[in-house]
Amino acid sequence: MADRKEINIPVADPNDPYAVPAAMPSSADTNPRSFDLADFAMPTRKQEDWRFTPVERIEEFFDVFEPSGATSVDVRYIDGSVIDESVVQVRRVDIGDDLSGTVSKPNDRVSAVEWNSVRTATVVDMLREPDQPVLVQVHGNGLDLDALHLVINARDRVHGDVVVQHDGQARLAEGVEIVTGDDAHISTTFVQEWTADSKHVASHRIHVGNESSLRHSVVTLGGEVVRIRMDQDFGGDHGDLNMLGIYFVDPGEHIEHRTMVVHNHPECRSRVVYKGALSGKGAHSTWVGNALIEPTAPGTDSYELNRNLVLTPGAVADSEPNLEIENGNIVGAGHASSVGRFDDEELFYLCSRGIPEREARKLVVRGFFGELVEEIGIEQIAGHLMQAIDRRLARGESSAMQTVLEEK
């Protein structure tokens, strides 16, 4: 079994609870971290981490199951060519072997279920800088319960991009571990374009190495229920983390993203920016952003932002930023969130310039997401993402119109 590292959450000194620097227990993340399923209670809406989640719709992921093996995983370069193994090694190993299980531990019940259900892990080990992005294609082939574990490792001083594309029909529990070596500069982009009846619960455990940077992007554009939790820490000084998120929620869908950034080394920087649009009755999004600055992290620079655009009545967006600072010697720390309706004045302005209303709405939404798509920085998928957003917008408008007709 490989060595495992665990994110260090401060523990109070019972003899001196007001010690300097403070060592009070974090309220941002009180969950256990364990490979043992028995350490996690059965999720209910009364628990803080599950209060926004429709637990009754994902209860099949709360107990260990036999994976169906219906989900396929294929690793190639983004142009479809075969991976050069002298640059990137792809290995399929037994769970717990090789690099699997080396980044922290499962952090909630569904991630512990995934770990105890899955049999193998796919390891993408970046030895040198590839000349184009690596594509991990995850395709669902049915609604039989399945589990998947993926490890992305970048060696010291490696630069590169990895895109993980999810599509098809699935009920999938997924565990992801991301490790960057010292002075590595990596981007990982996760795209979810599931069918409307798919369910996906995922845990991303992330370790950013000394003097290294990671741009971690999540784009969720489909699925009945998608819940992705991301936990991160730093492995040395001067780490840089950029977490970007885009989501579009259709009627009846629940899309949830939860980020936990732990600043545990000096002079590290983090930026978390998530944007979502919701359209139709019963569309529900949740974003919970946690940031913890430990006493061991002077010189921290941290900021998180969430913006939600509600396109039609009947959609609900929950947004909750949490910032906990245990060190007064920092560069800066802040957060912001908003939930707003479609800007009728902006729409009127565009229509007054002769642009049809449907096209005007599309322009506003494209502008809302365009900056983030550009910042994701993978030109091979930028056009595809904007087209997918356009399709979601058109589908949402059709559903909204159908609802209006039914109500009449």
* Contact indicator for 37, 116 with CB cutoff of 8 Å: yes
Task: Provide the 10 A C-beta neighbour count for residue 357.
Answer: 12
Which ranges constitute the DSSP H helices of 65-223? 109-117
pLDDT in tens, 127-151: 999 999 999 999 999 999 999 999 9
Note the pLDDT of residue 18: 42
As a residue count, the chain comes to 408
Residue segments in the chain with a per-residue pLDDT below the cut of 50: 7, 9, 12, 14, 17-25, 401-408
- 218 three-class SS: strand
Domain presence at residue 75: yes
Note the pLDDT of residue 232: 94
The secondary structure of 323-370 as a DSSP string is EEE--S--SEEEEEEEEEE--HHHHHHHHHTT--HHHHHHHHHHHHHH
Domain presence at residue 4: no
For 58, the token pair is: 């994902």
> What percent of the chain lies above the pLDDT cut of 90?
71
Cα 65 from Cα 117, distance rounded (Å):
6
Alpha carbon of 198 to those of 153, 173, 218, 278: distances in Å? 28, 11, 17, 18
**H or E segment to which residue 143 belongs:** strand 134-154
Give, as one character, the DSSP assignment of residue 407: H
Cα 37 from Cα 63, distance rounded (Å):
8
Domain presence at residue 20: no
CA angle 321-327-328, nearest 5°? 100
Note the pLDDT of residue 399: 54
Cα 143 from Cα 29, distance rounded (Å):
32
For 299, the token pair is: 């010189």
Report the candidate in 239, 249, 260 with the shortest Cα–Cα distance to residue 316. 249
Note the pLDDT of residue 2: 54
The phi, psi pair for 37, rounded to 5°, reads -60, -30
Domain presence at residue 200: yes
Note the pLDDT of residue 36: 95
pLDDT in tens, 4-21: 555 454 554 545 544 444
User: What domain range is 339 assigned to?
Assistant: 37-407
Note the pLDDT of residue 395: 73
Alpha carbon of 171 to those of 195, 224, 235, 372: distances in Å? 10, 10, 33, 28
Which residues have a Cβ under 8 Å from the Cβ of 175 and sit 6 or more positions away? Answer: 106, 111, 114, 115, 118, 147, 148, 149, 150, 202, 203, 205
Domain presence at residue 30: no
**H or E segment to which residue 380 belongs:** helix 379-407
- 188 three-class SS: strand
**Is the sign of the CA dihedral 295, 297, 300, 304 positive or negative?**
negative
Domain presence at residue 74: yes
Note the pLDDT of residue 295: 93
Alpha carbon of 186 to those of 99, 132, 264: distances in Å? 18, 12, 20
Task: Provide the 10 A C-beta neighbour count for residue 64.
Answer: 12
For 273, the token pair is: 């920016």
Query: pTM of whole model > 0.75?
Result: yes
How remote is the C-alpha of 255 from its chain's centroid?
A: 11
Domain presence at residue 16: no
Note the pLDDT of residue 15: 53
> What percent of the chain lies above the pLDDT cut of 70?
89
CA angle 63-67-69, nearest 5°? 160
Domain count along the chain = 1
Note the pLDDT of residue 23: 45
pLDDT in tens, 171-186: 999 999 999 999 999 9
Domain presence at residue 18: no
Q: What is the mean pLDDT of the chain?
A: 88
Q: Give the residues across from 234 on adjacent strands.
A: 208
